[in-house]
Amino acid sequence: MSRCLISNNIRKLRFYTHEMTQQELADRTGVTRQTIIAIENGKYSPTLDLAFRIARVFNTQLEEVFSYMPEQNPDKE
């Protein structure tokens, strides 16, 4: 299994959006709750389309929701 390099703030954003439930976010973005859970846990990187839909639900920019973390090369450290 490849490691997911995209981290997200969905949990935090849900909390600040009146404790929005995962099911509510799933309904508003047109996916299953299982997919939202997988994204939150970093087990699945959403498509650009879904990423924008999630950002739109929180009324924020994409970068506020997702960030790319390039894999650190231990040899360089």
Provide the binding-site residues for another protein, judged by CB under 8 A. 1-2, 4, 22, 30-35, 37-38, 41-44, 46-47, 49-50
| Smallest separation (angstroms) from another protein to the CB of 53 | 11
| Smallest separation (angstroms) from another protein to the CB of 77 | 27
Task: Identify which of residues 2 and 72 has a Cβ nearer to another protein in the complex.
Answer: 2
Helix (H, G, I), strand (E, B) or coil at 68: strand
Task: Identify which of residues 13 and 39 has a Cβ nearer to another protein in the complex.
Answer: 39
Alpha carbon distance 40, 8 (integer Å): 7
Task: Identify the helix (H) or strand (E) that includes residue 49.
Answer: helix 48-57
